[in-house]
Amino acid sequence: MAIVTVSEENHLEEVNLPKSYRVAILGATGAVGTELLQLLDQRQFPLADLKLLASARSAGQTLEFQGSRLTIEEVSEKSFDGVDLVLASAGGSTSKQWLPKVVAAGAVAIDNSSAFRMDPQVPLVVPEVNPEAAATHQGIIANPNCTTILMAVAVWPLHQVQPVQRLVAATYQSASGAGARAMEEMKAQARAILQGETPKTEIFPYPLAFNLFPHNTPINEQGYCEEEMKMVKETRKIFGAPDLRITATCVRVPVLRAHSEAINLEFSEVFSPSRAREILSQAPGVRLVEDWQANYFPMPLEASGLDEVLVGRIRQDISHPCALELWLCGDQIRKGAALNAVQIAELLVAKDLIKPAAALVAS
Ligand code: A2P
């Protein structure tokens, strides 16, 4: 924004002020929504206004932001009037219903759901990997699946040096991936089991406390669940590598909020663990965590609340001369969802890719 001021010498001068944006969080009461709220504050996102949107269930409740209590509104046709940027994390059907209205209102949406991720018109962005894709947006930018983001941050720096030929992943996914109510359900199950009671299941199909089960998304005709296919298809789109061979097994584990992944990477030539360590120790968004003597490596408890993806146990695959094994943990709510979305928003701000709604109305 430019304003005209009068200088000490009485000359008129145009001064460029940093822009600020009217932001709405759709799904503000959820696990990711509340994290978005914290991140906008912690990272001092240039806010002109902040609107909190959720379902009728939460309308009228308040959430604290920068010392004030903001009232949650039920999302409606008018919610996006005068809004520049919408950070959406309210599930796929809510995004499908409302994001076209966000775009029609002239705002930009960063969507945490899977609704638009594979749409060829919609960029799928991990800022450490493909920031340039954000510039191609036509109103909606998709935030990838959480396990995919964490894996992409760790694998991309290696893929840049030697293209990965084949990737085999096994995931250990926390309750948070299924939302705030799922986290509460797992805690309640743990309390029930410890008291000798039968655990209740509403969100998850089976008890998660003291248990684990293959990811409960629908299974396709090849036997892969949706979560596994998200890792396959989204990684290919983010890397711009449509033929990359990927397979994954996704498992839900009784951890509250950080995901872990065991990843095997096959290259066409030998990739030494020491070279991989050197590259990853300098890679953006990655923190190397390895103490071989102490058998100390990334753990979900230690990754919780951190911005970085923790990577360790980098070793040569003894079954293949050109393959590496690695282990990672990353905060699913933060880098796996809310932080990645806010980083995309920061990219848009830095490149001036958000058109304030008022400008659109005036033009
Ligand atoms: P609400 O709390 O009013 O149900 P999580 O992923 O942690 O379960 O959070 C989901 C978020 O999406 C919550 O903020 C929830 O709001 C919101 N949400 C779910 N369904 C809708 C809907 N139909 N319209 C608007 N917000 C919704």
Kindly report the CATH class assigned to 147-332.
alpha beta
Q: Which atom of ligand 1 is nearest to the CA of 74?
A: 25
Question: What is the average pLDDT value for the chain, to the nearest integer?
Answer: 94
Smallest CA separation from ligand 1 atom 24, residue: 55
Smallest CA separation from ligand 1 atom 15, residue: 27
Sheet of strand 68-74: strand arrangement: 62-65, 68-74, 47-54, 21-26, 85-88, 108-111, 140-142
Kindly state the tokens that stand for 106.
């002239």
Residue 107 has phi, psi (to 5 degrees) of -100, 170
Give 2-144+338-362's CATH code, choosing from 3.40.50.720, 3.40.50.300, 3.30.870.10, 1.10.10.10. 3.40.50.720
What is the reported pLDDT for 19? 87
Q: Is 322 a residue whose pLDDT tops 80? A: yes
pLDDT band at 105 (very low <50, low <70, confident <90, very high): very high
Q: Is 44 a residue whose pLDDT tops 70? A: yes
Q: Is 363 a residue whose pLDDT tops 50? A: no
The residues annotated with a catalytic role in the active site are 146, 259
Q: Is 126 a residue whose pLDDT tops 60? A: yes
pLDDT band at 11 (very low <50, low <70, confident <90, very high): low
- Measured in Å, residue 89 CA sits from the centre of ligand 1 at 8
Question: What are the structural domain ranges in the chain?
Answer: 2-144+338-362, 147-332
pLDDT band at 355 (very low <50, low <70, confident <90, very high): confident
Q: What percent of the chain has pLDDT over 70?
A: 93
pLDDT band at 361 (very low <50, low <70, confident <90, very high): very low
- Measured in Å, residue 325 CA sits from the centre of ligand 1 at 38
The residue with tokens 């309390």 is 191
Read off the pLDDT of each residue in 263-269 and give the average, rounded to a whole number.
98
- Measured in Å, residue 351 CA sits from the centre of ligand 1 at 31
Smallest CA separation from ligand 1 atom 25, residue: 55
Q: What are the residues whose beta carbons fall under 8 Å from the beta carbon of 102, sequence distance 6 or more? A: 80, 83, 86, 88, 108, 109, 139, 140
Read off the pLDDT of each residue in 19-33 and give the average, rounded to a whole number.
97
Give the residues surrounding ligand 1 with Cβ less than 6 Å away.
27-31, 33, 54-55, 57-58, 75, 90-91, 94, 179-181
Read off the pLDDT of each residue in 42-61 and give the average, rounded to a whole number.
98
Smallest CA separation from ligand 1 atom 18, residue: 90
Which tens digit of pLDDT belongs to each residue from 182-212? 999 999 999 999 999 999 999 999 999 999 9
Kindly state the tokens that stand for 209.
């406390």
pTM (2 d.p.): 0.94
